[in-house]
Amino acid sequence: MSVVAGDAPRTRIAIPAPAPGDDDVPAHATPRRRRARFLFFTNECVGLGHLQRCLTLAAAVCAEDPSATALIVTGSQYVPHGLPAGVDIVKLPAMGRDGDGAYAARSLGVDAGHLSRVRASVASAIAREFDPDVVVVDKLPLGVSSELEDTLRAVRAGHARVVLGLRDIEDSPEVVRRRWDEGRHGEVLETLYDQVLVYGPESSLDMLDCVRWDRPLPPVEHVGFVGAAPAEQRPEDLPADYVLATFGGGVDGYPLAKAFVEAVRERPLPVPALLVAGPLMPAEDVEDLRARAAGLDVTVQVSRDDLAAVAAHARAAVAMAGFNTVSELVRAGTPSLLVPRVRPSGEQLIRAEGLAAAGLVDMLHPDTLDAGALRAALDRLLVRPRSAAGLGDTDGAARAGRILLAQADAVLDR
């Protein structure tokens, strides 16, 4: 059982097990009327985290059942070139936020309301024509500006199952409670959703814990942290010993990246450094970093498709505290220094403080960030031993994939 404070116990979905003697046969390899179809909505306004998480989940589904196929609908500014087998992406016009935090078109010359209608109509058409068996919505139960409501009502009225995916931490309990109480999230979860997956361990304080609703909820499953599995082999272009500095998508990573380069200039590291700026970091900021790194043993790259492997084999890593980055670093046991984003959401700070309190990472608050403080923190980091996966619950992608396939089986076996 998984229990939320103030709520009745929440039953978990049963995952079909292989028949006796069939241990080597996937539970989902039995014939179906058709290939299972999964539709993911990522619902991001900034960064790459939501898209990366959905890609990891879609890959897990298709790895568990190679006959399955998944389509991801995203508004991310960056779409990777290499996709897992059986997985494809549809790109929506990007939605962002203005200086006041309100939704705004990121590129198109239309107002937010117009853009939301465009995105909603595209999402509806995709769901209608793709005809998924399982729909997975990331973070926002109705999507950005409630643009998925009509789509979800239509698929729910048909044969599809609808699943909500939530990160381990979204913000402080007070902020989450206020945001969710202001919306219709309780009604939506009760009427439109069949399952909630929390991408964190049982101990994580997820959004449903925070709101403390005294109302029926769909089954909730904490699947553990979702991240790419560490690669066994170090990337061939990297030395045996190096420090990694990584900033997720990079959209707001420049201050930390600059401080890292200046810290190395203040006193060189005993090993080479690789700085991966992120594909969303402005080009002028990347060029500035390269100029600052001139003459140092610091290589500046925009992005890498094998970043999970780079992180897993680094002697140490400096990073922000986004969900995907933390999942991969801690799963690999890489000694890590986290410098979290603290605004506009407290999500990264809460995550970093919790991990630091558990002794799994070092943390430096960005308000105290400068070259000297970072260089001293690097000295401490470089003598920190590698650790086993201290989070324990780090196989979340595979576990979530099995649950989603069980939902598809329930649809296709009717």
What phi, psi does 204 have (nearest 5°)? -70, 145
Angstrom CA distances, 325 to 185, 273, 282, stand at: 28, 18, 20
Residue type, 180: W
Q: Taking the domains of the chain in order of start, what are their residue ranges?
A: 37-227+394-412, 243-382
Q: Per mean pLDDT, which range of 22-26, 217-221, 325-329 is the poorest?
A: 22-26
Q: What is the rounded CA–CA span in Å between residue 109 and residue 82?
A: 30
- Parallel, antiparallel or unpaired: strands 95-97 and 103-105: antiparallel
pLDDT for the residue numbered 17: 36
pLDDT category of residue 413 using cuts at 50, 70 and 90: confident
Vertex 397 angle, CA 134 and 4, to 5°: 80
pLDDT > 80? residue 350 = yes
pLDDT > 50? residue 20 = no
Percentage of the residues of the chain whose pLDDT score is greater than 90: 54
E strands, 249-307, are 273-276, 298-301
pTM of this structure = 0.81
Q: Per mean pLDDT, which range of 17-26, 286-295, 385-394 is the poorest?
A: 17-26
Q: Give CATH for domain 243-382.
A: 3.40.50.2000
Record: fold of 37-227+394-412: Rossmann fold (3.40.50)
**DSSP-based three-state secondary structure for 136:** strand
pLDDT > 60? residue 26 = no
* Residue reference for tokens 């990347």: 286
**Residue 256 in tokens:** 């930390």
pLDDT > 90? residue 369 = yes
CA atoms within 13 A on the CB side of 54: 32
Contact 331, 207 (CB under 8 A): no
pLDDT > 50? residue 25 = no
Contact 338, 363 (CB under 8 A): yes
Tell me the pLDDT tens digit for each residue of 254-313.
Answer: 999 999 999 999 999 999 999 999 998 999 999 999 999 999 999 999 999 889 899 999
Which stretch of DSSP H or E encloses residue 102? none
pLDDT for the residue numbered 179: 77
E strands, 314-363, are 316-319, 336-338, 362-363
Mean pLDDT of the chain: 85
**Residue 279 in tokens:** 């594909």
DSSP-derived letter for residue 10 is: B
The residue among 401, 38, 53 whose CA lies nearest residue 227 is 53
pLDDT > 90? residue 393 = no
Percentage of the residues of the chain whose pLDDT score is greater than 70: 85
Which stretch of DSSP H or E encloses residue 303? none
Strand partners, 179: none
Residue type, 27: A
pLDDT for the residue numbered 14: 36
When pLDDT is averaged across residues 305-326 and rounded to a whole number, the result is 92
Tell me, yes or no, if the two domains 37-227+394-412 and 243-382 fold the same way. Answer: yes
The larger pLDDT score, comparing residue 393 to residue 138, is at: 138
pLDDT for the residue numbered 15: 35
pLDDT for the residue numbered 194: 95
pLDDT > 70? residue 75 = yes
Q: What is the rounded CA–CA span in Å between residue 393 and residue 343?
A: 28
What phi, psi does 197 have (nearest 5°)? -110, 130
pLDDT for the residue numbered 346: 86
What phi, psi does 91 have (nearest 5°)? -95, 120
Q: Is the peptide bond before 201 cis (omega within 30 degrees of 0)?
A: no
The residue among 14, 8, 6 whose CA lies nearest residue 403 is 14
pLDDT category of residue 33 using cuts at 50, 70 and 90: low
Tell me the pLDDT tens digit for each residue of 225-254.
Answer: 887 766 778 999 999 999 999 998 898 999
